[in-house]
């Protein structure tokens, strides 16, 4: 398990930093391992029965994004494909080399000397070309149509990483982490409950001298698009389990992993995103848990052979079933 996960602590009721318990590491380790699985000809379905849903989804998601954060040097092919698929006229934000944010409208894609470029109109009369390989992760689709200025933009300064994030990821990685968008996981559940959990409850990160903990929120790591200010870069997205058309909210890019926070999330939206790995968190106290288990047990009957390697230690009170499923 990476050092960044081991540094995380929670604040006890007397406000002291304490090492995370075994179950919390289990969720993060699980997310970490699933994040590194290929999105290939099969997907992995991980069903977990737990005594409470509290923090399970956000910790699994933390494991996923931190696993991906370490491998950001390579180009995120899914993000690249997503940007390549944008239609002419799409409103976007681009982060420039000097960490300024420009607004623009996609014009077209061109190839020049064997390299692909995206042409973006940044003023009423000017277009700029950005290398797709270099800029794909720095382009974010705007929530609403934008108006272009007449004159050249100087751009807005973009945010700097918090001490907490720097503690978790290291200074260098934290800087790029908050500026680039990459859709690592989709969280489906009770949005306001998840938001409250990740944005209102402090956790802490032990600094290297292990004396003082720096406090922050899981949202700083998860960067859930729907909980951030508009047009900020993001790492995960979250939709309500009652949303019958989630694509409208998250855009066309399919998530590589979907975390279903609760039985109703899986029952309502388990059929979507066929290629995404699934993590189904079932709070045993939920009303519809038996219905979800029945669906999952039926789906298990059609599994592919072989079991993916997953955490070896499952804490007491947690039950898990894992299988591979054909996605074709």
* CA separation for the pair 28, 57 (Å, rounded): 9
Tokens of 286: 């939920």
Our finding on whether 296 is near other proteins (CB under 8 A) is: yes
How many positions of this chain bind other proteins (CB under 8 A)? 55
- Asked if 243 is part of the footprint of other proteins (rule: CB under 8 A), the reply reads no
Nearer to other proteins, 186 or 198 (CB): 198
Site string for other proteins, 256-285 (x = CB under 8 A): --------x-----------------xxxx
User: Which one of 61-69, 84-92, 119-127, 184-192 is the stretch in contact with other proteins (CB under 8 A)?
Assistant: 184-192
Least distance to other proteins from the beta carbon of 7, Å? 16
Residues with Cβ within 8 Å of residue 105, at least 6 apart in sequence: 89, 90, 91, 92, 120, 121, 146, 148
Q: Which stretch binds other proteins (CB under 8 A): 4-12, 76-84, 99-107, 142-150?
A: 4-12
User: Closest CB to other proteins among 126 and 321?
Assistant: 321
Q: What letter would DSSP give residue 159?
A: P
3-state secondary structure of 144: coil
**Cβ contact 183:197 at 8 Å:** no
Task: Compare residues 314 and 327 and give the one whose CB is closer to other proteins.
Answer: 314
Q: Name which of 200 and 208 has its Cβ closer to other proteins.
A: 200
- 37 part of the interface to other proteins, by CB under 8 A: no
Question: Helix (H, G, I), strand (E, B), or coil: what is residue 230?
Answer: coil
Contact 287, 266 (CB under 8 A): no
**Binding residue for other proteins (CB under 8 A) from 40, 127, 134, 319?**
319
Q: How far is residue 166 from each of residues 29, 74, 318, 324, measured CA to CA in Å?
A: 21, 21, 32, 36
- 296, exposed or middle or buried, with CB in 10 Å at 0-12, 13-18, 19+? buried
User: Which is nearest to 133 in space by CA: 83, 98, 168?
Assistant: 83
- Give the per-residue SS3 of 295-310: HHHHHHCCCECCCCCC
Nearer to other proteins by Cβ, of 57 and 86: the residue is 57
Least distance from C-beta 71 to other proteins, angstroms?
A: 26
Query: Residue 274 and residue 231: Cα distance in Å, rounded?
Result: 28
Strand partners, 49: 282, 319
Least separation in angstroms between residue 212's CB and other proteins is 16
Q: Minimal distance in Å, beta carbon 319 to other proteins?
A: 5
d(CA 288, CA 111): 52
Contact between 245 and other proteins per CB under 8 A? no
Q: Are 253 and 82 in contact (CB under 8 A)?
A: yes
**Could you say which of 169, 222, 322, 324 contacts other proteins (CB under 8 A)?**
322
Judged by CB under 8 A, which of 43, 191, 225, 324 binds other proteins? Answer: 191
Query: C-beta of 271: minimal distance to other proteins in Å?
Result: 18
Using left for φ > 0, alpha for ψ between -120 and 50, and beta otherwise, residue 306 falls in left
Closest to other proteins by CB, 91 or 219: 219
Residues that bind other proteins (CB under 8 A): 10-13, 15, 21, 23, 47, 49-52, 54-55, 190-193, 197, 200-203, 240, 242, 264, 282-290, 293, 296-297, 300-301, 307, 310-323
């Amino acid at each position: 398990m990476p050092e960044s996960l081991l540094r995380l602590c929670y604040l006890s009721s007397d406000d002291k930093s304490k090492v995370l318990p075994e179950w919390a590491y289990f969720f993060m380790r699980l997310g970490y391992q699933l994040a590194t699985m290929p999105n290939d000809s099969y997907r992995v379905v991980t069903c977990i029965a737990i005594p409470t849903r509290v923090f399970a989804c956000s910790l699994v998601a933390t494991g996923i994004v931190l696993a991906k954060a370490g491998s950001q040097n390579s180009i995120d092919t899914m993000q690249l494909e997503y940007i390549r698929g944008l239609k002419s006229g799409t409103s976007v934000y681009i982060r420039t080399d000097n960490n300024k944010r420009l607004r623009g409208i996609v014009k077209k894609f061109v190839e020049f000397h064997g390299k692909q470029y995206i042409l973006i109109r940044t003023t009423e009369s000017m277009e700029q070309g950005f290398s797709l390989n270099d800029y794909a992760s720095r382009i974010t689709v705007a929530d609403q149509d934008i108006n272009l200025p007449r004159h050249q933009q100087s751009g807005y300064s973009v945010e700097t990483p918090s001490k907490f994030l720097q503690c978790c990821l290291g200074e260098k990685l934290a800087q790029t982490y908050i500026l680039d968008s990459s859709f690592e996981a989709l969280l489906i559940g009770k949005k306001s409950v998840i938001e409250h959990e990740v944005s209102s409850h402090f956790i802490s990160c032990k600094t290297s001298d292990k004396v003082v903990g720096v406090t922050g929120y899981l949202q700083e790591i998860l960067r859930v698009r729907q909980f951030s200010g508009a047009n900020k870069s993001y790492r995960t997205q979250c939709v309500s389990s009652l949303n019958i058309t989630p694509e409208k909210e998250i855009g066309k890019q399919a998530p590589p992993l979907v975390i279903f926070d609760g039985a109703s999330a899986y029952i309502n939206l388990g059929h979507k995103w066929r290629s995404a790995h699934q993590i189904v968190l079932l709070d045993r106290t939920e009303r519809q848990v038996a219905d979800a288990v029945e669906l999952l047990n039926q789906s298990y009957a059609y599994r592919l052979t072989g079991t993916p390697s997953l955490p070896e230690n499952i804490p007491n009170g947690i039950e898990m079933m894992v299988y591979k499923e054909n996605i074709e």
